[in-house]
């Protein structure tokens, strides 16, 4: 196969032709004035899908999370977040820089959960003027760095009870929440029911070219809308973006199961190759992580050899490689990728 098989992320997806056509037909208005009918339909559909009162279209998942943290937490307060979360590691510290908030990272368990005991230990001296007050817990579902793991509904129920007892808000970075729902074979609203707000990406597995959604109650979204304008996220005729999001929510959710199947196919092929160690061995959703067992083989050398064979994967963490099947990747691509990895190992 002469084409490049790009497995670095599901963010490299290109929209299907029908999605592009829908973008070209979109009815438009000024969304900052609340007058874009396509944006309004998308926000209504997203809120209904997640069982929330309201939703807000924003340019990126990073902005969706930033707005959520700032809307939940007054300046000078603290949020509890996993030490392997995207929000802590990959979003440029925005809540501190722009929101005046204090991150308190807690250990992330191998399955992506934040242990209730660790969260409890991180909440102390709430009435002491020397300490920042904890206002929020943020969790991630699916959890990227834990291998695309899905948070169990039983865990979310216990987390919700704990947060309510301690008077804390709960935010879910649900960048890939629809992957979680497909893996659980449950409606996405059953996941969202346990938290106060959810962000999710339209531009990853759902294959839209741009955009994320933030959902919550009406007061929260009204506050987030004002904050969106403050940080430069107010878009005008955003219906061209929203049309892609509408198409994604209507047509691209169920097909995520194909990505999960391809991830398992890839893992099954890789596990048979000498010199690799998969983490975890069997993927739950659309991500496959592995390490090279030959510590003398530089990762950069292996990646160059693999790209020479037309396959791109990502180093995400020191020595940890990630491949993410997505829209546009077929079973034949997966088989070709396994052959390329085997060849790169031999060459390197």
DSSP secondary structure of 95-141: HHHTT--EEEEEPPPTTS---HHHHHHH---TT-TTSPPEEEEEEES
My answer on whether 73 and 114 are in the same domain is: yes
Among 202, 231, 251, which residue terminates a domain? 251
Q: What proportions of the chain, in percent to the nearest 5, are helix, strand and coil?
A: 45, 15, 40
Give the CATH number for residue 292. 3.90.1150.10
pLDDT in tens, 293-304: 887 889 999 999
Residue 61 burial by Cβ neighbours in a 10 Å radius (0-12, 13-18, 19+): buried
My answer on whether 245 and 299 are in the same domain is: no
Instruction: Report CA 146 to chain centroid distance, whole Å.
Output: 12
My answer on whether 118 and 241 are in the same domain is: yes
Strand duo 78-82 + 102-106: pairing = parallel
My answer on whether 222 and 104 are in the same domain is: yes
* 1 pLDDT above the threshold of 50: no
Provide the residue range defining the domain that includes 314.
Answer: 5-12+255-347
CA distances from 186 to 23, 183, 193, 229, 257 (A): 30, 8, 12, 35, 13
pLDDT in tens, 204-262: 999 999 999 999 999 999 999 999 999 999 999 999 999 999 999 999 999 999 999 99
Question: Structural domain tally of the chain?
Answer: 2
Among 224, 251, 278, which residue terminates a domain? 251
* 177 pLDDT above the threshold of 90: yes
My answer on whether 110 and 45 are in the same domain is: yes
pLDDT in tens, 264-277: 999 999 999 998 99
Task: Please give the Cα distance from 141 to 264 (Å, whole number).
Answer: 19
């Amino acid at each position: 196969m002469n084409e490049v098989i790009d497995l670095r992320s599901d963010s490299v997806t290109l929209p299907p032709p029908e999605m592009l056509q829908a973008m070209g037909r979109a009815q438009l208005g000024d969304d900052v004035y609340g007058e874009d009918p396509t944006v309004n339909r998308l926000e209504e559909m997203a809120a209904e899908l997640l069982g929330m009162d309201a939703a807000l279209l924003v340019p990126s998942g990073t902005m969706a999370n930033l707005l959520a943290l700032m809307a939940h937490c007054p300046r000078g307060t603290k949020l509890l977040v996993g030490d392997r979360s995207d929000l802590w590691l990959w979003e440029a510290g925005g809540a501190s820089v722009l929101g005046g908030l204090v991150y308190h990272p807690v250990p992330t368990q191998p399955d992506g959960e934040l242990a209730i005991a660790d969260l409890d230990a991180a909440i102390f001296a709430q009435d002491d003027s020397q300490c920042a007050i904890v206002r929020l817990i943020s969790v991630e579902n699916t959890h990227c760095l834990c291998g695309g793991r899905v948070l169990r509904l039983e865990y979310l129920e216990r987390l919700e009870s704990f947060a309510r007892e301690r008077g804390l808000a709960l935010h879910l970075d649900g960048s890939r929440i629809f992957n979680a729902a497909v893996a659980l074979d449950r409606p996405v609203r059953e996941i969202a029911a346990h938290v106060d707000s959810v962000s999710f990406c339209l531009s990853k597995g759902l294959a839209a070219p741009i955009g994320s959604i933030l959902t919550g109650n009406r007061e929260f979204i009204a506050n987030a809308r004002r904050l969106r304008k403050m940080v430069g996220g107010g878009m005008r005729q955003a219906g061209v973006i929203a049309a892609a999001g509408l198409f994604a929510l209507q047509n691209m959710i169920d097909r995520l199961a194909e990505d999960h199947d391809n991830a398992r196919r890839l893992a099954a092929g890789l596990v048979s190759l000498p010199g690799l160690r998969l983490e975890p061995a069997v993927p739950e959703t659309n991500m496959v992580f592995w390490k090279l067992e030959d510590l003398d083989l530089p990762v950069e050398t292996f990646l160059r050899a693999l790209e020479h064979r037309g396959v791109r994967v990502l180093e995400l963490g020191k020595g940890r490689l990630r491949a993410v099947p997505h829209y546009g990747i077929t079973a034949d691509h997966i088989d070709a990728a396994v052959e390329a990895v085997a060849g790169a190992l031999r060459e390197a």
